[in-house]
Amino acid sequence: MRNILFVAFVFALSFSGRVCAGNPVYSDKSLRNDAEKLLMEWVDTLLTYQCEGLHPALDGGFLCPACARIHGRIGDTVLPLMYLADKTGDDKYLLAAKKLMKWMENVHRPDGSWMNDVHVSDWSGTTVFAAIALYEAVHYHGHLLDDSTCNHWKKQLLEAGEFMMKNPQMYSRRMQGNMKRLNNVNYSASVTYALQALGEMFNRPDFKEEARIVASDLKKFFTVNDFFLYGEGPKIWTPTKNGCLPVDLGYNIEESLPNLAYYALMVNDRELLSIVERSMNTHLEFMLPDGAWDNSWGTRSFKWTYWGGRTSDGFMGGYYAMAEQHPEYLEAIRRNIRLLKKSTNNGLLHAGRDYQASGIPACIHHTFGHAKALTAFLELPPVKAPQYKSLPRDNAYGVKYFQDIRTWLVAEGSWRSTCTGFDAEYKVKGTHPMGGAVSLLWHEQAGPVFAATTNRYALIEAPNMQSNSRKYIMSGTPRVEMVQYGTIYSNLDDLDTDIVYTQEKDKHRFHINTHLVDADQQTPVQGAFPVTLDYVYSKQGMSIVVDYCPLTACLVLPVIAAPSEVVDITSKGMLLQKKEGVLEIICVNGMLKVAPTDEDGRIFNPVPGFSFVPLQIFPEGENKKIQIEITYN
């Protein structure tokens, strides 16, 4: 990042029309202060988990209270530690950084890579992220180190660069030799910045040339209409029948786009910068007014935490680097930091709002990963920009359709919702919702009402996810569901769904023709069961109609409710008391029941970390019709 500041300044000049005498300009000092306070709270808490005097194999590592082990990617904390050592002058941070990197020898391999975990996962593709963190620590704060330590860290960085060069199967976007598929695109996007930075540090033109080639190849991996970066999944050569390619918002905003922005600014690649800018704008459409990222539909949403991603870093640095031209990016960072602060308990960032209330400990991965992201943003110089306090989803614009992911965003009155038929699958079945699902429903006062989980909960990346430690678990996505011989059939995995949106004066209707299938897209023994649903949105709320509910099927509404919130349930509806009002669900047609719950009256799902009341609405009468109304007063 030697010339990033200069190039960013030049880039800003080209957009100087956005900042002129007629526009009030404000400093981001308060934002940076808030970020620094949160960073120090996180890092000081992490230090209480650093092992000392136990055993050489443990000393310097950070023991995770949730996973009862030391995560192999804990080395990313070297950057926030070195930043705070420089900022505060307190030697405890510098000493902790040295001890940490000594522990990292446990996951360092002779080929120059770092393993993801000790004896749990030997995946070494994450070397690119470890290298970025260590590079920035040395680049910005190497003057704090003694010669021996600095030379050793630089030696490891050079070895990491050699490893990335020798393993194109992990990082390239080109099919080579016997390669059958490409890795997820976040690795390729991030290696551009890593190799360019190391190329400058060690005067290695070959590193920089490889970065240039990968970056050039990546320009082809943005969708045609909306400029989503795609490649978070295996099927990248042929779109689905609905024109979708594998996209994950979480990894795009928290790793791929920031690192591509850093690279493009370093080398002044104006074409790539323009593409990244358009993509960042598209992704910003999915930030909720409370600072949450709506990844309810992404291919890797099994690692969604509402505020971001479980093992990705954070969007702040990359968006901040572009904020002088896009003051709305500053507002997005401000709101997300506010949400991260609300999601922090006892100094650790929790992977969801209801973890602590549900008795689930916090994995420290979320804290050190996002501490790294906060630091990356704080390393950049302050910016000044026109005052801009609105984000796209603040506005009640009606409906926006994103064709490339077959997903609609609804913004009517105080309600925000996401309806998705995104059918690009990940490497395993049963992950993100499809089949015309309402993957998110949010209200300005009530907050999240529905938030999609994986269709079936599984440790798809076991070292990077938390197991369910409670008795009950189920999908948190609204759906039509039928259980037959122990197998769950619903619309959430249906690849044969038609969705028609129409506007009727001040109402928005989604007409869904779908089918009940299991997570492997298999039908019940009787064959496929067609289901027709209608979602209607207005300023007053939302209605759901199931035109015909077959056999023993029911409409399942997992209503988000903290264990402390009071609920009143009858066979005809539910009242949920919130701080500023009451969420009401009325059964116009149908009979309401509650599925079995844990002792606190809730079911908790680790992704995205909410507890909910699992309502089941069964049809009454011969017409088998269900109709419910959702309002907030």
> Any idea what the CATH number is for the domain that residue 519 is in?
2.70.98.70
Beta bridge partners of 627: 545, 589
Structure tokens at 260: 């591509």
Burial of 548 (0-12, 13-18, 19+ CB in 10 A): middle
Asked whether residue 20 is assigned to any structural domain, the reply reads no
Q: What is the pLDDT of residue 119?
A: 83
Total structural domains in the chain?
2
Q: Domain boundary residue among 349, 367, 391?
A: 391
Q: Is 533 part of a structural domain of the chain?
A: yes
The CATH number for 211's domain is 1.50.10.10
**Statement to judge: residues 244 and 144 lie in one domain:** yes
Clarify whether residues 296 and 264 are in a common domain: yes
> How many separate helices (H) and strands (E) can be counted in the chain?
15, 25
Same domain, 212 and 268: yes
The residue with tokens 């002044």 is 268
Residue where a domain terminates, one of 376, 391, 406: 391
In a domain, 575, yes or no: yes
161 found inside a domain: yes
Within a domain: 2? no
In angstroms, the Cα distances linking 493 to 384, 479, 489, 524 are 46, 10, 9, 13
Is 611 found in the same domain as 518? Answer: yes
Do both 208 and 248 map to the same domain?
Answer: yes
In a domain, 14, yes or no: no
Q: Are strands 582-589 and 626-632 parallel, antiparallel or unpaired?
A: antiparallel
> Of the candidates 391, 413, 433, which is a domain's last residue?
391
DSSP state for residue 502 in the 8-state scheme: E
Q: How far apart are CA 610 and CA 606, in angstroms?
A: 7
In sequence order, the β-bridge partners of residue 482 are 489
Domain interval for residue 448: 395-630
Tell me the two tokens of residue 60. Answer: 């310097």
Q: Which residue is listed with tokens 């909410």?
A: 610
Based on the domain organization, do 236 and 385 belong to the same domain?
yes
Q: Are residues 378 and 401 in the same domain?
A: no
Predicted pLDDT at 25: 57
Judgement on whether residues 453 and 363 belong to the same structural domain of the protein: no
User: DSSP letter at 358?
Assistant: T
Shared-domain flag, residues 322 and 431: no
DSSP letter at 178 equals T
Q: Which residues of the chain have pLDDT under 50?
A: 2-3, 5-23
Task: Identify whether 6 is part of a domain.
Answer: no
Q: Are residues 476 and 351 in the same domain?
A: no
Is 155 domain-assigned? yes
The whole-angstrom separation of Cα 181 and Cα 427 is: 11
Contact 293, 249 (CB under 8 A): yes
CB 614 within 8 A of CB 597: yes
61 plus 183 within the same structural domain: yes
Statement to judge: residues 92 and 241 lie in one domain = yes
Cα separation, 3 vs 197, in Å, equals: 10
Instruction: Write the CA distances from 133 to 194, 312, 317, 373, 527, integer angstroms.
Output: 9, 13, 13, 10, 53
Cα–Cα distance between 583 and 605 in angstroms, integer? 21
pLDDT at 12: 41
